[in-house]
Amino acid sequence: MAVEEHKPAKKRWSLLKVIEISLSVTLIILLAMYLFQFRRRGDPELEVSVRDITVSDVKLAPFHEYLPVEGTVQPMTTVYLDAVEGGRVEKIFVEVGSVIKEGDPILELANTNLLMDIMWREAELFQQSNNLRNTRLAMEQFKLQLDQQLSELENQIQQQKRLYERYKELDKDSLIPKHDFETAKDQYEYLLKRKELMTQSQKTELAFRRGQVDALEQSLQRMQANLDVVKQRQENLTVKAPITGQITSLNAEIGQSKSPGQRLGQIDVLSGFKATAFINEEHLGRVEVNNAGEFDFVGQTFNLIIKKIYPEVKDGKFEVEIEFRGERPKGIKRGQTLHVRLELGQISKAVVLAKGDFLKATAGEWVYKIDMENNLAIKTRVKLGRQDSQAIEVLKGLKPGDRVITSSYDGFANKEKLLLKEK
């Protein structure tokens, strides 16, 4: 009897357990459905006061495209200082930032090998100069000796000539032996021939000796020229300013060794500045020389113009050189960054939206468009294009007459909808 009473109790407990489990499952399903619907609806709408936002109209208006670029201020002319001769830095006469004049010494290098080379060349030049002097003296002595020999020979010729002419007259009357006349004649002719040979020999010898002197003189000139070049190299050890300007870089320390051609520093000419900028290669075909631009500096707007375009593309960008046009800003410094608005193309009609801080949060991919009937601002996908100084072109997602929040989206938490309240 006890067993029969126990079995129905166990059956009733099992039924209650089943009911309890069924209710739990039902609650879990309902909770899951609620969460699913909640996630489908998104987060609750965020209330935003219309007093805290800026709303702009989408318009069809004249559009002048501007390309924003960052320019870096550079001097109009920069001269680089390179080591013409290598050596050890011995002295430094100026500091970075100093304004110097053309010819002022900047630094001095020491080169022992160059000094030894100069001394050796000077000694060689002195020796060659002595050789030339000795050769000239020997030639003058030889020439004097030849003149003496020629003078003695001419004296003999004169005496023999008189004897020959006297014997010639006596021979006409047969007053002397024929042999004596012929001997006098042969001797006279011999002396004349000897004079001719001696003169020719002297000319040859003197020409040879003059050639030696000329060769020594040419050698001496070459040695002097070489010495001058080496001395010029010595002068190059003192690096001087090639122009008047400001030293903006000086890479040298006392005792530091410098190789020929190594960069020592640079000098900027203070007569004017320009700017250089790097632009994305997609604009290469649209940017042209003489394109105008402008930038703001200390509360004023200044004008620029493109003077040079470098067509080489590096890292997806190409370089342009920009010069100031009209009034130039005062107090501008090398290396300063300019936010330039560069003009592209002509004025045309376009659907535009005023520029604002919203671009920082959306990168131009979406905006909050106003729904006036429901007092909502709805997140809307857009495609934006060209920009000018005030507006940005709208390619897709908006039409003229639409209204958009263009102030900052900070604090909106990327909500899909904003509830606009008058408060």
Smallest Cα–Cα separation from 89: which of 106, 114, 102? 106
CB atoms within 10 A of CB 151: 10
pLDDT of res. 6? 44
Q: Which CATH number fits domain 112-235: 1.10.1740, 1.10.287, 1.10.10, 1.50.10?
A: 1.10.287
Give mean pLDDT, residues 273-283: 87
Per-residue CA distances from 324 to 273, 274, 277, 338 (Å): 8, 6, 13, 12
pLDDT tens profile 250-264: 998 898 888 988 999
| Average per-residue pLDDT for the chain | 83
How would you class 187 by CB atoms within 10 Å of its CB: exposed for 0-12, middle for 13-18, buried for 19 or more?
middle
- φ, ψ of residue 229 in degrees (nearest 5): -65, -45
The CA distance from 215 to 212, in Å, is 5
Amino acid at 177: P
pLDDT of res. 34? 56
- Listed by start position, the domains of the chain span 46-74+272-421, 77-111+237-268, 112-235
Residue 217 confidence (pLDDT) above 90: no
Residue 382 · residue 397 · CB < 8 Å: yes
pLDDT tens profile 108-133: 988 888 888 888 888 888 888 888 88
DSSP 55: E
pLDDT tens profile 332-364: 888 888 888 888 767 778 899 998 888 888 888
pLDDT of res. 92? 92
The CA distance from 77 to 272, in Å, is 8
pLDDT of res. 41? 47
Residue 210 · residue 138 · CB < 8 Å: no
pLDDT of res. 52? 87
**Dihedral (C-alpha) 160, 165, 168, 172: value to the nearest 10 degrees?**
-160
CB atoms within 10 A of CB 396: 11
Give mean pLDDT, residues 413-420: 87
How far is Cα of residue 62 from the mean position of the Cα atoms in its chain?
Answer: 41
Does pTM top 0.85 for this prediction?
Answer: no
The CA distance from 147 to 2, in Å, is 173
Q: Which two tokens stand for residue 246?
A: 């400001």
Share of the chain above pLDDT 90, in %: 14
**Dihedral (C-alpha) 363, 368, 369, 370: value to the nearest 10 degrees?**
-150
How would you class 79 by CB atoms within 10 Å of its CB: exposed for 0-12, middle for 13-18, buried for 19 or more?
middle
CATH homologous superfamily for the domain 46-74+272-421: Efflux pump adaptor protein, beta barrel domain (2.40.30.170)
How would you class 250 by CB atoms within 10 Å of its CB: exposed for 0-12, middle for 13-18, buried for 19 or more?
buried
pLDDT of res. 423? 66
pLDDT tens profile 1-57: 344 444 444 444 566 676 777 777 778 877 766 555 544 444 557 888 888 889 999
Give the ranges where 355-409 is alpha helix by DSSP (H).
Answer: 358-362
How would you class 320 by CB atoms within 10 Å of its CB: exposed for 0-12, middle for 13-18, buried for 19 or more?
buried
Q: CB-based contacts of 192: which residues, under 8 Å, 6+ apart?
A: 157
Residue 402 confidence (pLDDT) above 90: yes
Considering the segment(s) 77-111+237-268 as one domain, its CATH architecture is Beta Barrel (2.40)
pLDDT tens profile 185-206: 888 888 888 888 888 888 888 8
